[in-house]
Amino acid sequence: MHKDETVHHYQFASDNYAGICPEALEAMAAANTGFACSYGDDPWTARACTLLRDFFETDCEVFFVFNGTAANSLALASLCNSYHSIVCHETSHVETDECGAVEFFSNGTKVLLVPGDNGKVDLDAVEHTVRRRTDIHYPKPKALSIAQATEVGTLYSVDELKEVGARAKHLSLKLHVDGARFANAVAALGVPPKELTWKAGVDVLCFGGTKNGMAVGEAVIFFNRELATEFDYRCKQAGQLASKMRFLAAPWIGMLESGAWLTRAAHANDCAARLEAGLRQVNGVRIMFPRQANSVFAEIPPPILAGLRDRGWHFYTFIGSGGARFMCSWETSESDVDALLTAVREVAATVGP
Amino acid sequence: MHKDETVHHYQFASDNYAGICPEALEAMAAANTGFACSYGDDPWTARACTLLRDFFETDCEVFFVFNGTAANSLALASLCNSYHSIVCHETSHVETDECGAVEFFSNGTKVLLVPGDNGKVDLDAVEHTVRRRTDIHYPKPKALSIAQATEVGTLYSVDELKEVGARAKHLSLKLHVDGARFANAVAALGVPPKELTWKAGVDVLCFGGTKNGMAVGEAVIFFNRELATEFDYRCKQAGQLASKMRFLAAPWIGMLESGAWLTRAAHANDCAARLEAGLRQVNGVRIMFPRQANSVFAEIPPPILAGLRDRGWHFYTFIGSGGARFMCSWETSESDVDALLTAVREVAATVGP
Amino acid sequence: MHKDETVHHYQFASDNYAGICPEALEAMAAANTGFACSYGDDPWTARACTLLRDFFETDCEVFFVFNGTAANSLALASLCNSYHSIVCHETSHVETDECGAVEFFSNGTKVLLVPGDNGKVDLDAVEHTVRRRTDIHYPKPKALSIAQATEVGTLYSVDELKEVGARAKHLSLKLHVDGARFANAVAALGVPPKELTWKAGVDVLCFGGTKNGMAVGEAVIFFNRELATEFDYRCKQAGQLASKMRFLAAPWIGMLESGAWLTRAAHANDCAARLEAGLRQVNGVRIMFPRQANSVFAEIPPPILAGLRDRGWHFYTFIGSGGARFMCSWETSESDVDALLTAVREVAATVGP
Amino acid sequence: MHKDETVHHYQFASDNYAGICPEALEAMAAANTGFACSYGDDPWTARACTLLRDFFETDCEVFFVFNGTAANSLALASLCNSYHSIVCHETSHVETDECGAVEFFSNGTKVLLVPGDNGKVDLDAVEHTVRRRTDIHYPKPKALSIAQATEVGTLYSVDELKEVGARAKHLSLKLHVDGARFANAVAALGVPPKELTWKAGVDVLCFGGTKNGMAVGEAVIFFNRELATEFDYRCKQAGQLASKMRFLAAPWIGMLESGAWLTRAAHANDCAARLEAGLRQVNGVRIMFPRQANSVFAEIPPPILAGLRDRGWHFYTFIGSGGARFMCSWETSESDVDALLTAVREVAATVGP
């Protein structure tokens, strides 16, 4: 199925190259105490739900699914019928990196794209997309999907988010947040999670566990409880109901009770800040988007990028720009960052101006 | 989302009430060594694939997905178009317990049911179902799906399986095996896995990891490699591609290298045998199907069943029969079995003849 | 694509072997008067809707689609989500003759079968199907689908229908009626259409135009108007929105204004009655179901059936019984019936007792 | 369902505002001669298929479906799996006007957009779209869909089409042509239909009957016969198999045998040419795209457009441009065109420069 590749100790391709953080792994092991009811009727699932309700300071509905593709697609499918459409940013993950999963889970819901600076939706473009046509040949816009942090590592401020929420409401759009890196956003913005969710009008959040340090698993959080009706059936039919649910739920207990969700995310953000600061010192390098969470997008002369790849560094090319994405994770160390910066400087020196 | 329930130390409801067996958990922890490429381009995934190819003694295609519902549904969707149909036993899991997942993943493939003794498909009924109509108002049968072990805990012998394979070929049906408890079947039949798969004409097997002792994860094994074309895309779109794939793959390494896949399954089978033997001694209890793997289906007077439930024992009622299903797992101990038997006897004594 | 076959002047295979009745064809031609707005914004569509509302004596929502498969499937898809299920009779057309269309349009809604005498659902079996399980592995029953007339040509009386409606309501099931031969039912029962629909609790009716005498087209009638929300979008996306809608709508005007819907259906029923009476006189022939609408199901000795086929008569074999279905249409004449009866008698005489 | 609107005798909104042309209606009536086998096993369907094979001078597979949305969506679904993608022009009908039908019929196939002058795909952009990514998070491009005539009324020349076909083959893309106005294209280009289809590498063509003058119906023509495998099942399941198929097939006989397919299309093209010539004389009017088939796209000062609307003229606004689309049909007369031109001139005079 897959070609063998050696393990790369130092790399910045994605935060899903990182392993399981100790708090998550220990919680899994701690849940491994004999028999437990399956499919979520176990005390760990109950406890994790309670902790998430405390976390958001509201009585939200909580579901645990296996990965982000499923979390986003199922959440959006619960907001839309097949003949509806979802408005999102043209760089959004649901558009560019899920191989048509949204369309598959919803049986055809169309994704309509809007531009916007720094990976954030332009609200006038959203409004235009909703208002420009009302005929039945045009799939009726029903949901607005944004990401926090965005695909280019930026953040919606609380005020921006409130504006998004208000406009969504004004346009009768349900508001979905792809929070694969929601912990990084909270850590960076330093506000209570409720400020970034239901208080701003978010209907459903896909809260990422994997990139925060877990082995597998995301939480789908419905602040609008009505929208969660029969979501358990939806998960079951779509192959997203874990039989040994406790092992999906327990890591959330570990992360939330220990505070690791925050410290691990803050650490990743700090690494990115350190990397950004270092890159800014390198001639010919340009930071492409405000660095706000755990990634740095930089335009770097192609010969330097080639040189880094030759030395075994991993990072993504940013589609269409010739730039590079460096992603930091809970497992990235300051010395990893420094090693990368050293490599950049060395390669740059070789390549010349 | 879920109501809290206390943990039940002794129970027989399902093998998915069991935890993670040590060999699987240790292998997960052992894979947690820093960065690794995601989505399967890591050495653990490669190693697990190699081990599974060795296991089946053939160059099969191997994919790891999150659970059995997805494994079966995706495998069947790769065999059929939406206007085809799948023939399976009327008690099969894909029909009775997956909430329409097969129809969902395949966008409408119909499931056609056949009877058969002891949970095994009657091949003449299969042939009748395929041959009885050839008009386009009838979804064209394209796949035969059986389970090994079956939903009622019985096994297809090697000879029976060859007959199934030959008939499927004769009818131009692809052959799918739901192997949620495939390890138990191999342990019970004592033959090399190849005898129960490709040598008998099986095209694709869903090999269950969860019930064998893992936290999460099943392997989809294509012996007919052509059918695996683009199956990775299918998994991705359907939300079944793990980003940190190594943690789905590593447990297979642990189970296969240690031989735990066999010893754990054999132990569960032995517990079921012990339970069967004990139940046969109880007046008024009738074993419903040949006990061949890790479950016992018994017709037990309803007052006894009620008494057992009152004492906190968990087991499933077998739909439509008034009987009971007792499932043993890797974690079931002999003393658990004996405690259940004691309880049965005590309750039976109270209830009277 | 299709093999050429000569036209059969006398046959009883299906009422869709008949042509277009004059009232429908003339109405189509009458609507062909220059330009008209497309997609239903034309006066013929408006008029047809009004006539259907008058017909049912209620302010129902009306949509015109191309055929019965689409009408039933779209109507059911509007009642259910993919993880729900539909309960219907085991001989129902949506189960046996639509090649998985219900599952396709709804993206996986499962069809659950119940038995029942004379092609009518046994309400206790319906209740059992709804009540027997409430776990999320079982697709939640959400709709009851019946046919009027049924697949075996019988009718639900007004009282039976009220009982069906009451039970559906009691079980929180929406009630769908496949009315491919609804006109025949109304003609036979001699009651106002409202008595067979909304007054009995029917939520949505698929009212067949094709078998009543039109070239193409069925009307989907929502008595429960809420369920019709955005049904126009659903039709559009599913390829069921006619651009030149007036030609789907106009035949309804022709049929309803002239009363042909009734006289044509009554004529077909009368032919079936004549055929039934004649067949009852033939030795060895047994009428299988009460003949109530426009078809006769009869058990006839296989040599006689073979002899009829040899003489070029068309009829369907009734699956699993060795019987035969004779269907009369608006275009069947008394002399067609008599010719068939003569042929039966002649063949029977040849074959001997 | 729909609001009543009066009939507009003179309008240019769409060619589907036209009625049925005499050759099509007479052929329908001529097919109405008593009983005929249903679902396509009738002599008219056979004859229409033969005529279409003669028309294209090749042994193509032919299917008749109800409308263009279904024709395009089913054809594309037969080329792709759900995790594939379809490349088409950003103004294409399948993207902008089918309410997600492509995604619905294929259960999620994503539509990827490319730009291109005059509504024709830029082949380098197509190549870039196919080549830019090969990872499984990106739905694998499998088909190229173009329209002939295009959404903006332009035509691919034979040479351009050959280039498209060659590039598609080079990129392993199947080539689909949306031919809602294919007859207009053939009439305008004056070449045999084979030159615009299989000789240029077209795999499947959706040949529009409705806009050519029929009441309802499109032909799906597979030049690549392998791709047509089981397409009849696909049509059936998707509610696109007409029971009284002869009435969908007969109009093709009428149009092809009489040559009306060509004369009617050529007339519509001529009307558009006349309109274009007239509009070019009006101050402030700019023709937006080369007028090649039966439509004229013109940028016209908004006050003039408003004035035309006030006088009851119908035409579409061209999205995003402030321009107007005037569509001519078989039923448009020269005097309709002249009346519109007079109105434009009069309004323009009132409005002033």
| Residue-wise DSSP of B150-181 | -TTS----HHHHHHHHHHHHHTT-EEEEEETT
Shortest distance, CA A204 to any CA of chain D (angstroms):
22
Contacts 24+ apart (CB under 8 A), C303-309: C303/C347, C303/C351, C304/C344, C304/C347, C304/C348, C304/C351, C307/C347, C307/C350, C307/C351, C308/C340, C308/C343, C308/C344, C308/C347
User: Residues 6 or more apart from A212 whose CB is under 8 A from it?
Assistant: A21, A181, A183, A184, A255, A261, A264, A265, A330
- Put simply, whether D305 touches A (Cβ < 8 Å) is no
Tokens 């937006």 belong to residue: D288
Q: What residues of chain A lie within 8 A of the CB of C39, using their CB?
A: 136
The predicted structure's pLDDT at residue B6: 44
**CA–CA distance, C223 with C230 (Å, rounded to integer):** 15
Q: What residues of chain B lie within 8 A of the CB of A73, using their CB?
A: 239
Determine the 3-state secondary structure of D249 from DSSP: helix
Determine the 3-state secondary structure of A111 from DSSP: strand
Contact between chains at A38 and B14 (C-beta distance less than 8 A)? yes
What SS3 string covers C240-305? CCCCCCHHHHHHHHHHHHHCHHHHHHHHHHHHHHHHHHHHHCCCCCEECCCCCCCEEEEECCHHHH
Distances (CA, A) of D27 to A285, D20, D248, D249, D338: 72, 11, 10, 9, 32
The predicted structure's pLDDT at residue D1: 33
Which chains would you list as touching A if contact means 3+ CB atom pairs under 8 Å?
B, C, D
- Put simply, whether B138 touches D (Cβ < 8 Å) is no
Indicate the average pLDDT of chain B: 95
pLDDT band at B79 (very low <50, low <70, confident <90, very high): very high
Count Cβ atoms within 10 A of the Cβ of residue A283 and give its class: 0-12 exposed, 13-18 middle, 19 or more buried. Answer: exposed
Q: In what order do the strands lie in the sheet with D110-114?
A: D61-65, D218-222, D204-208, D174-179, D140-147, D84-89, D110-114
**Phi/psi of residue C54, nearest 5 degrees:** -65, -40
Within chain B, all domains assigned CATH 3.40.640.10 are found at 22-258
Number of C-beta neighbours around residue D29 at 10 A: 17
C window 197-236, beta carbon within 8 A of D? 210, 215-216, 232-233, 236
**CA–CA distance, A86 with A76 (Å, rounded to integer):** 8
- Strands, E, within chain A: which ranges? 61-65, 84-89, 110-114, 140-147, 174-179, 204-208, 218-222, 286-287, 295-299, 316-318, 323-327
A9: pLDDT strictly greater than 60: no
pLDDT band at B353 (very low <50, low <70, confident <90, very high): low
The predicted structure's pLDDT at residue A317: 85
pLDDT digits (tens, 9 = 90+) for A196-225: 999 999 999 999 999 999 999 999 999 999
Nearest chain A residue to C40 by CA: give it: A136
Both tokens of residue D189? 């280009």
Number of C-beta neighbours around residue C33 at 10 A: 12
C206: pLDDT strictly greater than 70: yes
C3: pLDDT strictly greater than 50: no
pLDDT digits (tens, 9 = 90+) for C207-226: 999 999 999 999 999 999 99
Contact between chains at C110 and B101 (C-beta distance less than 8 A)? no
- Put simply, whether D136 touches B (Cβ < 8 Å) is yes
Contact between chains at A239 and B243 (C-beta distance less than 8 A)? no
Helices then strands (H, E): number in chain A? 13, 11
**CA–CA distance, D273 with B241 (Å, rounded to integer):** 55
Q: Which of B105-114, C16-25, C306-315 has the lowest mean pLDDT?
A: C306-315
pLDDT digits (tens, 9 = 90+) for B213-227: 999 999 999 999 999
The predicted model gives A78-93 an average pLDDT of 97
Q: Which helix (H) or strand (E) holds A129?
A: helix A123-131
Tokens 């602040």 belong to residue: A223
Would you state the CATH architecture of domain D261-351?
A: Alpha-Beta Complex (3.90)
pLDDT digits (tens, 9 = 90+) for D37-54: 999 999 999 999 999 999
Q: What residues of chain A lie within 8 A of the CB of C104, using their CB?
A: none
Q: What residues of chain B lie within 8 A of the CB of A105, using their CB?
A: 239
Contact between chains at B232 and D136 (C-beta distance less than 8 A)? yes
A window 252-291, beta carbon within 8 A of B? none
Please give the DSSP secondary-structure letter assigned to residue A318.
E
Closest in A136, A237, A241 to C82, CB measured? A237
**CA–CA distance, A96 with A111 (Å, rounded to integer):** 11
The predicted structure's pLDDT at residue C319: 61
Shortest distance, CA B76 to any CA of chain A (angstroms):
13
> Is the complex ipTM more than 0.90?
yes
Within chain D, all domains assigned CATH 3.90.1150.10 are found at 261-351
Determine the 3-state secondary structure of D298 from DSSP: strand
Indicate the average pLDDT of chain A: 95
Query: Which residues face B146 on adjacent strands?
Result: B177
- A21, A35, A233, best to mutate vs chain B, most B CBs in 10 Å: A35
A8: pLDDT strictly greater than 70: no
**Residue-wise burial string across B229-244, b where 16 or more C-beta atoms lie within 10 A, e elsewhere:** eebbbbbbbbbbbbbb
Shortest distance, CA B237 to any CA of chain D (angstroms):
6
Q: Among B128, B125, B145, which Cα is nearest to B85's?
A: B145
Instruction: Note down pLDDT in tens along chain D; length 353 residues.
Output: 333 344 455 689 999 999 999 999 999 999 999 999 999 999 999 999 999 999 999 999 999 999 999 999 999 999 999 999 999 999 999 999 999 999 999 999 999 999 999 999 999 999 999 999 999 999 999 999 999 999 999 999 999 999 999 999 999 999 999 999 999 999 999 999 999 999 999 999 999 999 999 999 999 999 999 999 999 999 999 999 999 999 999 999 999 999 999 999 999 999 999 999 999 999 999 999 999 999 999 999 999 999 999 999 999 987 655 689 999 999 999 999 999 999 999 999 998 65
Both tokens of residue A236? 């079951």
Query: Which residues face C141 on adjacent strands?
Result: C85
pLDDT digits (tens, 9 = 90+) for D112-156: 999 999 999 999 999 999 999 999 999 999 999 999 999 999 999
pLDDT band at B319 (very low <50, low <70, confident <90, very high): low
Specify the pTM: 0.96
The yes or no reply on domain A22-258 and CATH 3.40.50.720 is no
Q: Which helix (H) or strand (E) holds C105?
A: helix C101-105
* Cα torsion B158, B164, B166, B169: sign: negative
Nearest chain A residue to B238 by CA: give it: A101
C window 240-259, beta carbon within 8 A of D? 240-245, 247-248
- Put simply, whether C1 touches B (Cβ < 8 Å) is no
